[in-house]
Amino acid sequence: MKILTVVSHPRTNSFTFAIAHRFEQGLKDAGHETEILDLHRSGFNPVLWEEDEPDWSNENKRYSPEVETEIERMKRHEGLAYIFPIWWYSMPAMLKGYLDRVWNYGFAYGSNQLHHKQILWLGLAAASLEHFEKREYDKMMRRNLNVGFANYAGIENSKVEILYETLAEKQEHREELLNQAYHLGLSYSNLNGDTD
């Protein structure tokens, strides 16, 4: 399977990128092809201007060259993965801006929907599982990403995975998280979407 892996973090030496590289290795070891899109280093502008604003009267609208390039990139892949730090119990603005501009009307929703078989949302949280469960932040994120994004755009098989306590000092814990990322890549074709 061809999988587009989109990574959002301002630093390439971040743990987010370490997780992305281990996930990529898992994909390759499973026989998948993957392309890594580094949103920051690609120069992608996350700000939506008039040129890329949906035109409700024209589902065949041509968007800006930057967005059309990313739409074509998405069309070349069968699966999607998004890897990002969880800030304010959500994705970074860079990734949200990418989704706002690229998952656009007439391509991802409206008369057309995304053709991708599945999607993995892999978020890195500094907080603990207990902290997320206390106020159901984990459920909120799953509903938003699986239903509000993936399902709305036609992808039924969508899964949110959260890696917790990513700022922990213990190398043993960090290795455990890296191994989780590797196994998510290795088992990507057996992804079982969340139920909510």
Please tell me the chain's helix, strand, coil percentages from 3-state DSSP, rounded to the nearest 5.
40, 20, 40
List pLDDT tens digits, range 35-84: 999 999 999 999 999 999 999 998 889 999 999 999 999 999 999 999 99
Encoded tokens for 128? 């603990």
Q: How many residues are given for the chain?
A: 196
Confidence (pTM): 0.96
Non-local (6+) Cβ contacts of 145 within 8 A are: 121, 158, 160
Structural domains for the chain: 2-190 (3.40.50.360)
Strand segments, DSSP code E, in the chain are 2-7, 33-38, 79-85, 118-124, 157-163
